[in-house]
Amino acid sequence: MTAESVPTVGGAATSSTWLPAWFEAWFPVILLAVVGGSLPLWGDSFFGIIATRVCVYWVLVSGLNLVVGFAGQLAIGWVSLLTIGAYVASALTAGRVTPEIPAYVSLVIAALFGAVFGLIAGLPALRLRTFYFAMTTLGLSTIVTQIALAWRSVTGGGVGIPGPSMPVPFDTPWGFYYFTLILALFCTWMTCNVAASRFGRSLVALRDAEVAAEAVGIHKPGLLMTVFLFSGALAGLAGGLFASLQSYITPDAFTFDLSVLFFIAILIGGRGSILGPLLGTAVLTILPEFAAPLVQWSTFLYAVLLLLIVLLVPGGIADLLDFRNRKPLDRHREIRPRPELLGQVLGDGQRGSVLEIKGIVLAFGGVRAVDGVDLQLRSGEVHGLIGPNGSGKTTVLNVISGYYAPQQGSVARDGGDFTREGSYTRARRKIARTFQTPRIVGESSVIDNVMIGATTDGRASFVESMLSLSRHRRDEASLRERGMAALALVGLERIANVRADRLQHSELRFVEIARALMMKPSFLLLDEPAAGLSVDEIKRLGQLIEAISRQGTGVLLVEHHADLIFDICDRVTVLNLGKVLASGSPDHVRTHREVINAYLGA
């Protein structure tokens, strides 16, 4: 591999599709603008009304897509937010609670209400199991309809209430259509921006590799709350538009069927896609209009469709449209890390730092998995942690990473104790790790997986990313450049744009190392990085680890390959039954009688 073939920033050189990268990224917006904008030229007014409906639904679905398709939260009752937005906008313009308010202002207030209730509906997702969250959104949608029926003074009860009517020039059907189309385009553009930002990548990481996401410093509650606010605001706005489109609303208009439509549009479209759900929304909205005899059966057919998608094509339309990943990969791929690039990736390491583990005790029920372990990890050295299966090696790593809080003992860096802080705080302290079974987002590209590693280095806020302001663009350019450098370092830059689930096991191990190095860690915890590698690959891995430590990073290496350990470690700690059996230089440990009896064998 020569230096010339290192791909350019943006990875265009390796994607080799028939379209430029920017076109692919903005395709949903372009498609909607071209098809939607030209509609009055070729469609009649009946079509215009259906297209308006598509746009209104898409305003909601584009936001919900971040919750369902990206974050993987099963929000099945989102119609409740549409209902709230519709009634807020209608009640305000009709002057039911306040003096009459202009339609534009009422839409903004509807969006605000939607955001607040989106957050409330989302709260259970921060702590609860998947089914619980699905159930609470379902419960909310039933309750909101009941309230709409009962609160007559504001909602008009079963009689209903007129929706807001738009002022000139949006008061005609085509005028209103263009109004909703512009909003739909704006929403598509914003969600495309979010999807291509560190926030979008973090959401997908939380969905498919939550533990790894925490290890790189992604704070799940904070991120999810932001997304629920955003998604709720779009749903509330869609509600106001919906009420205006209906021109008169009653609780009957907000059946659970709508929720099912929104949800299935995303599933048909495919998780983590924007084009797919957009097409899904259009198809599901248009189809019943042209199959009048089926109207009664439409929800039943949605249900059948839902079952079929779940059982047969969990990937949705997006998978069918993913031509790039059909191309076969080179079969004989060899991983050749280039440690000489380390300076570029890690920068100037900070030396003279100590990670100190003191007397940690952790029992699961009656089993004392770790029973008073002490360990010191200094920058610039490789520290081996070995021992028989079940001796507590991974548990020690998990305590350092914050997945478990020990019952006794402490973990501190240079005197600063952080034993009981959540796992997402470790990234801030520059402690990175890899996992025994690689925790990779299979549906994302390799480069996206690596870029997740430096999530905490992003400076742009969610709003800046959503609107693609300059700080966001700088973030992306620098993260991508660093990501490509990290991939070149571990020798995987040629497959940067390949979906990660197409990689071999050994390649995933190196992707994890590249992701961990993105953090510029002071301390790196490697959990059996050599498992499943070939002899040659293990040798190169050893060289890479040594080179990393020479840059000033302290490496804690859990491993079963004794050769690797004794080759590259500066110090070795042996665990047995949760206790330290021996600790010291490799030579000391290798000849330690008890270590030979318990672990190494004669």
Binding site residues, other proteins, CB under 8 A: 74, 76, 123-124, 126-132, 134-136, 138-140, 142-143, 146-147, 149-151, 211, 256, 260, 267, 296-297, 299-300, 302-304, 306-307, 310-311, 314, 364, 394, 398, 401, 403, 435
Pick 33 or 116: Cβ nearer other proteins: 116
CB of 411 vs other proteins, minimal distance in Å? 16
16 backbone φψ class: left, alpha, beta (φ>0; ψ -120 to 50): left
Task: Quote helix, strand, coil % in the chain, to nearest 5.
Answer: 60, 10, 30
DSSP-derived 3-state class of residue 278: helix
Are 464 and 410 in contact by the 8 Å Cβ rule? The answer is no
Identify any residues that bridge with 523 across adjacent strands, giving them in sequence order. 431, 554
Nearer to other proteins (CB atom), residue 175 or residue 314? 314
**Based on CB atoms, which residue is closest to other proteins, 369 or 533?**
369
Residue 415 CA to residue 70 CA, distance in Å, equals 39
Q: How far is the CB of 51 from other proteins (least distance, A)?
A: 27
Q: Return the structure tokens found at 328.
A: 């076969």
CB of 177 to other proteins, least distance (A): 31
Measured from the CB of residue 241, what is the shortest distance to other proteins in angstroms?
Answer: 26
> Toward other proteins, which CB reaches closer, 178 or 523?
523
- The answer to whether 50 touches 286, Cβ cutoff 8 Å, is yes
The distance of closest approach from Cβ of residue 127 to other proteins in the complex, given in angstroms and rounded to an integer, is: 5
Question: First CA to last CA across the chain, in angstroms?
Answer: 43
The encoded tokens of residue 354 equal 């100590």
Between residues 134 and 538, which has the closer beta carbon with respect to other proteins?
134
CB of 222 to other proteins, least distance (A): 16
**Least distance CB 303 / other proteins (angstroms):** 4
Backbone angles phi, psi at 102, to 5 degrees: -60, 150
Task: Name the minimum Å distance from CB 521 to other proteins.
Answer: 18
Nearer to other proteins, 134 or 460 (CB): 134
Nearer to other proteins, 408 or 436 (CB): 436
Secondary structure string (H, E, C) spanning 283-314 = HHHHHHHHCHHHHHHHHHHHHHHHHHHHHHCC
Pick the closer one to other proteins by CB: 342 or 400.
Answer: 400
Alpha carbons 447 and 297: distance in angstroms, whole number: 45
For the four alpha carbons of 456, 458, 460 and 465, in that order, the dihedral sign comes to negative
